[in-house]
Structure 1
Amino acid sequence: MTKPTARTTNSDTPKKDDISHRLYEDVLALLLGTMVVSLGVTLYSESVLVTGSTAGAALLIEHATGFSFGVIFFVINLPFYWLAYKRMGRAFTIKTFVAVGLVSIFSKLTPMMVDFTMLNPIYAAVAGGALMGIGLLMLFRHRAGLGGINILALYLQEHFGIRAGYFQLAVDMAILVIAFLTLPFDKVLLSILGAVVLNLIIAINHRPGRYLAAR
């Protein structure tokens, strides 16, 4: 009597349904993720710190000119949507456009709802970086980003296996070097600390093959 042959299954192979999200889940993730990011941005804005990517550029311009971060952030991201559409697909582009718009709005509304009478800059750097990293992670896992370098980072991760967090960390450091020309030395050091916290959260939790952001 022969033993029954063990039937091979593909249970270890993730199916599309395992990582797909329903519409209401995407909506909640976009709202909560951008709200968390905006709170981190507010901590940085109040403490005169900067971060990397297009958000960092927008914060630098805000500190230098006094213009609203939300408006600057929205405008800076406009050139990147074509790359997002061509490389990452229509769904990703639409979600990213919505996410950028929400961050622009929430970053304007948050200071009206939260008043910081005392804000330690070290706490602001670490907590702000962590909040932005967690918010970005939520967006990444629902096939969305915050434009700019985020789009390029996700594209490189999905097509070349380069960790999004590590790539962003390299670009963010380059942006923070420019900050030495406009901000006090101690503010830039704290900004670097926050950038490390932000990108470590993404690098540790967002790996190639998980929650793909393409079509």
Structure 2
Amino acid sequence: MSTSASSPDPDAPVGIRHSLVEDIYALLIGSALIVLGLVCLRAAGLVTGGIAGVALLVSYVVPLPPGVLFTLINLPFFLFARSAMGTAFMVKTMIVSTGVTLLSLGAPAVLRLAMIQPLFAALFGGTVIGMGVLSLARHNAGVGGTGVLTLWLYKKRGWNAGRTQLTIDACIMLVSLLAVSPGRVLLSAVSAAAISGVLIAFHRPGRYTGH
């Protein structure tokens, strides 16, 4: 895999490359969407799938913002990202992780949700996170954690990223029962399905033209 700052997406036609500016813009958008989704889910007392769900779950028992936990939990996965996906992917994923942390810390100063309906939070928050993950994946980046594994399996084995993530998320939902009520876990499963639904629908070979 190329380790240049602007690596090609595997689904993009030959000859089309993302510029550095395009990569930066995509990483910023992806990070912002993930934080927005986390804010919605946290306000409704929900969790979700993937590394974001693990961070949310831990935030209910540890007095740290989900975005900060997101980065801390991600640390062990960075080495795997480098060996499995290449240096460029690892560097971009580290940038995303840092961006999510900084945006999460700054979010309370610009966004506070006094009320959000849980089902809406599950659907909207999950979909927004899914679009953020998709934005990152199209520019050779990820959110770390289970996302690294799903993208690696997609590149190496051709496994659909959404379906693989859905399987992992089911395990996270079961663990969530230890800290979250069954009703909230059910809604959290909806948010995880919304994330995977975006990837199942749009993260397919040949669907992306690179421009």
TM-score normalised by structure 1 residue count: 0.88
Query: What is the CA distance between 1:14 and its match in structure 2?
Result: 6.0
Query: What count of residue pairs does the alignment treat as equivalent?
Result: 198
Q: Which consecutive residues of structure 1, in runs of 5 or more, have no partner in the other structure?
A: 1-12
Partner of 2:5: none
The answer on 1:133 being equivalent to 2:161 is: no
Amino acid at match of 1:186: G
Query: What is the CA distance between 1:112 and its match in structure 2?
Result: 2.1
Compare 109-118 and 141-150 and name the one that shifted more.
109-118
Compare 106-115 and 174-183 and name the one that shifted more.
106-115
Contact 2:160 2:200 in 1 (8 A): yes
Amino acid at match of 1:108: L
Q: Are residues 15 and 125 of structure 1, via their aligned partners in 2, closer, same or farther at CA, if it must alter by over 3 Å?
A: closer
The answer on 1:114 being equivalent to 2:84 is: no
CA distance in 1, matches of 2:127, 2:20: 27
Query: What is the CA distance between 1:15 and its match in structure 2?
Result: 3.9
CA distance in 2, matches of 1:66, 1:21: 39
Q: SS where residue 16 of structure 1 aligns? A: coil
> Which has the larger Rg?
1
Contact 2:26 2:136 in 1 (8 A): yes
Residue deviations 1:31-73, cap 9 Å, x none? 1111011000011111111111121111111012222222211
Amino acid at match of 1:170: T
Runs of 4+ displaced beyond 6 Å: none
Compare 165-174 and 101-110 and name the one that shifted more.
101-110
The answer on 1:147 being equivalent to 2:144 is: yes
Amino acid at match of 1:32: I
The answer on 1:52 being equivalent to 2:44 is: no
CA distance in 1, matches of 2:147, 2:93: 10
- Of structures 1 and 2, the one with the larger relative CO (CA 8 A, separation 6+) is 2
Partner of 1:172: 169
CA distance in 2, matches of 1:65, 1:155: 30
Q: 2:39 aligns with which of 29, 39, 42?
A: 42
CA distance in 2, matches of 1:30, 1:112: 22
Identity of aligned residues (%): 38
CA distance in 1, matches of 2:128, 2:38: 9
Q: 1:93 aligns with which of 58, 73, 90?
A: 90
Contact 1:157 1:208 in 2 (8 A): no
Contact 2:38 2:66 in 1 (8 A): no
The answer on 1:16 being equivalent to 2:14 is: yes
Q: SS where residue 123 of structure 2 aligns? A: helix
Q: 1:157 aligns with which of 149, 154, 159?
A: 154
Q: Are residues 147 and 210 of structure 1, via their aligned partners in 2, closer, same or farther at CA, if it must alter by over 3 Å?
A: farther
CA distance in 1, matches of 2:169, 2:18: 30
CA distance in 2, matches of 1:129, 1:14: 26
Contact 2:136 2:142 in 1 (8 A): yes
Q: Which consecutive residues of structure 2, in runs of 5 or more, have no partner in the other structure?
A: 1-10
Query: What is the CA distance between 1:118 and its match in structure 2?
Result: 1.9
